[in-house]
Structure 1
Amino acid sequence: MTDASILVVEDESIVAKDLQNRLRKFGYTVPAIASSGQEAINKAVEISPDLVLMDIRLKGQMDGIEAAAEIHKYLDIPIIYLTAYADENTLERAKITEPFGYLLKPFKERELQTNIEIALTKHRLEKQLKTNQQWLSTLLNSISDGVIATDVNQLVTFMNPVAEKLTGWTQVEASEKNISEIFKIIDITTREPLENSINKVLQSGAIAPLSVATILIAKNGAETPIDDSAAPIKDNKDNITGAVLVFRDVTERLQAVADRQKQTEQEQLVAQLEELNQLKNDFLNLVSHELRSPLCHMKGMIQMLQMSNTVQEQQHFLEVLEAECDREMELINDLLDLQRLENSFYLQLAPDLLLLQQWLPWVIEPFQTRTQEHQQTLQLNLPLNLPSLFSDRTSLERILVELLNNACKYTPAGGEIILSVSREVAEIPIKTIITVSNSAEIPAAELPRIFEKFYRIPNADFWNQGGTGLGLAIVQKLVEQLRGSIQVTSNQGWTMFTLTLSDLELTS
């Protein structure tokens, strides 16, 4: 720093002039020379030099040490003492003023220049450090989070105003106290004491992740919900010298979460009420039509029986009456079955070994006659050596009967119905895939609702076949009980229900 300006304070004019010449030879500027303590103070304040070379013994009432102390009151500049005295008392007085050098006369030029350069460099670094410390202090004091720093023994070394407010401790009170005494936290749910993050950091040497569900107990007993994180403080050799804890008040955030949760619960409740209301309306519509219609028919048949004159007529009316009774019973049974499935988490299943090669032909046998009567074709596709399936016989039979019944009901005359079985051995557990296809297409917009209770596809000629709208809802519930899945696809004139099952023995 050869362009530095240096104030020389020396009461011997010849010595002062010699110093001035030497300094200029080094490349420094010497804007002034002072011969007394008071003059040194005045010159320093006036020109604000980069450094002062101060002789300790000066003429007048004020010596160089006293002058240096006064200069430090006004200016932050380094001072190097030049003196012929090295007694212990002088040294002790000089040390109080924190000089940047102490040269004994006579000294060599190189020694003088070296001390000046070291003093200027040291002062520049200290000034930069003070600036950084001031910047850091301002930052820590202005952020909205609480900050507490400790040494390696967990003794508090720093607290910002937010930390003081949340803990109830001032930095003066907390200084040199253990962090556990200042930062007391408990679990928000169990109210059990929690280990502070500083201890974890000092033990592990790693950043402690953000923790939640924590209550901070202040000095006066006040409770504040917080979240916090901590990190180690390391020196330039990566040695841990302490830790810093950062925490914040999350009262507003928790309240916002609670408000959103409450709003969500209210919205869900409204949606559930609307769904229940819709189900009630659907049920009332069902009762008003499906349940009342067979009863009206039965009443009509009873009246016709009372007026009939021949055995043949009576037999006909009795057959119609029996059919309507069966229809009414089927609807009631469907309602009861669906309620039973919805109100039980899992049915008491009775897994059985089903030899599909023999069992499936028996299941579809009743539908062979029915399809022939409606000029439909029912085809069963089974691979050779089809393995058995360990599943609940009653539930699986009900599923297939419902799917085949729908297929027969909605397939037009001349149409086809196909039941196929395959095995997916690439996955563990091995999957059994059963498909029921029929040559009738469901509109794409209706597919998402096909398994809804009471839902029947509107405005389609061959789909308006009556029914309860409960069959496929029952099928889906039964499939869930068997730990399986069911999907429906419909395109190019065909509808396919795909049932995927695993052996209950392997998944239970």
Structure 2
Amino acid sequence: MKEKILVVENEIIIACDIKTCLEKAGYTVPAIAAYGEQAIAKAAELRPDLVLMDVMLKGKMSGIEAAAEIGARFNIPVVYLTAYSDQSNLQKAKTTQPFGYILKPFEETQLITTIEIALNKYQTEVLMREALEKEKEHQKVKSQFFSMMSHEFRNPLSNIFTCAELLTNHSQQLNEAKKDEYLTHIQNSVQHLENLLGDVLLIGKAEIDKTQFKPEPLDLENFCKNLITDTQLTASENHKIIFTVQGSSSTTESSIIAQNSQLISLDEKMLRHILTNLLTNAVKYSPQGGTINFEIFYVPGEVIFRIKDEGIGIPEADQENLFNSFHRCSNVGTIPGNGLGLAIVKHYVELHGGEISFASKPGIGTTFIVNLPI
């Protein structure tokens, strides 16, 4: 579909000739205006792709004034039509940053060529502005990322420094229980730093992982069974993980092996990270225990994983930012974490060409659903 051009010309005969010429070239002319106020109203109503504006118009408002208003309010490109080439008018017109000038009388070829150049120039500027805004947003996110990363590293480092200083300078005044307490704080902080560094490195490998995505045949049910065994070791006795596969004939409280085990091509390392993170989160954010349902559904063209817990849930105010790096929900309290896990999970799901979604209610629990094409 060709672009819409609003013609603003105070001579009706010339305006009709321009309309005919433009329509002959394949453009659409939705309206003709002869007054500046009328041109602004039509621009607001029709939102044309370009305005062909006569410098001299009927009424109190000049074409230059109307063009300035249209550009400021609607960001629509303007090409001037004028019978005047004096420097005074040209200087005034330049202040509105037009996309071209056509001097009367003009030939059809000149009119069409000027319009085509103006439209192409405008599209280029739009693309450049969009690219600039994306770059600004990228730099903003990057700056926020490093700021938050600095904050996350500073806390455990401060704990290590404080405990080490106490052990060094006041060792004789400390009993063995207090020394053990400070050593435990140091060990926990070091472990936190190690986990944080590992997650940050995973985030940094995002571009590399696009080329390292290597799906291979995988015995999915046995793979998930082993993940559940590992997760159950770190969970309390109050946590019960129930694993089911659609169409399977038996279920136990820990896991089942489907009678018809299937080999599916997925990236094992990435899938391990996806499911391990979701399972450990289900345990971690269910501090009182409860049942965790881990289900697999085979449907044509994809496999669906559903992990449902009975934990603290996700407050509605936090749900929009759940997959953002370093975001932690307002109700996690002292539960440890750095807010990077789900950001990495989402990235790995998308590398598979899949989708991740969730539903949650505070105090009731959370359900994550991962769809992966196979």
Normalising TM by the smaller chain, what interval?
0.5 to 0.7
Mapping of residues 290-301 of structure 1, within 5 Å: 290-301=152-163
Q: What fraction of aligned residue pairs are identical, expressed as a percent?
A: 23
Match of 1:490 among 349, 360, 369: 360
Residues 304-323 of structure 1 aligned to structure 2 (within 5 Å): 304-306=166-168, 307-308=170-171, 314-323=179-188
Measure the CA separation in 1 of the matches of 2:117 and 2:130: 20
Larger RCO (CA within 8 A; separation ≥ 6): 2
Q: AA paired with 2:292?
A: I
Structure with the largest fraction of strand: 1
Give the CA deviation at 1:257: 4.7
- Using the size of structure 2 for normalisation, the TM-score is 0.60
Structure 1 residue ranges without an equivalent (≥5) = 1-138, 149-221, 226-247, 504-508
The answer for the alignment partner of 1:201 in structure 2 is none
Of 336, 339, 342, the residue aligned with 1:469 is 339
Alpha-carbon offset, residue 377 of structure 1: 3.2
**For residues 147 and 298 of structure 1, what CA distance do their matches in structure 2 show?**
77
Tell me, yes or no, if the aligned pair for 1:447 and 1:488 is still in contact at 8 Å: no
User: 1:36-435 maps to which residues of 2 (within 5 A)?
Assistant: 143-145=20-22, 249-288=112-151, 290-306=152-168, 307-308=170-171, 314-341=179-206, 343-344=207-208, 346-372=210-236, 375-382=238-245, 383=248, 384-385=258-259, 386-424=261-299, 427=300, 429=301, 431-435=302-306
Which letter does structure 2 place at the counterpart of 1:380?
A: F
Question: Are the counterparts in 2 of residues 140 and 147 from structure 1 also a CA contact under 8 Å?
Answer: no
Give SS of 1:326's match. helix
What per-residue deviation string (whole Å, max 9, x for no partner) do you get for residues 101-124 of structure 1? xxxxxxxxxxxxxxxxxxxxxxxx
Residue 476 of structure 1 deviates from its aligned partner by 1.0
Deviates more, 1:290-299 or 1:402-411: 402-411
CA contact (8 A) 2:21 2:108 kept: no
Q: 2:320 is matched by which residue type in structure 1?
A: P
Deviations 1:352-385 (A, max 9, x none): 4322332222212232243316x43333223332
Gapped runs of 5+ residues in structure 2?
1-15, 26-106, 249-257
Tell me, yes or no, if the aligned pair for 1:286 and 1:468 is still in contact at 8 Å: no
Structure 2: how far apart are the matches of 1:291 and 1:397? 26
- Distance in 2 (CA, whole Å) between partners of 1:417 and 1:338 is 28
TM-score, normalisation: structure 1: 0.45
CA RMSD of aligned residues (A): 3.3
Say whether the 8 Å CA contact 1:301–1:317 is kept in structure 2.
Answer: yes
Question: Partners in 2 of 1:146 and 1:412 — Cα distance?
Answer: 70
Aligned length: 261
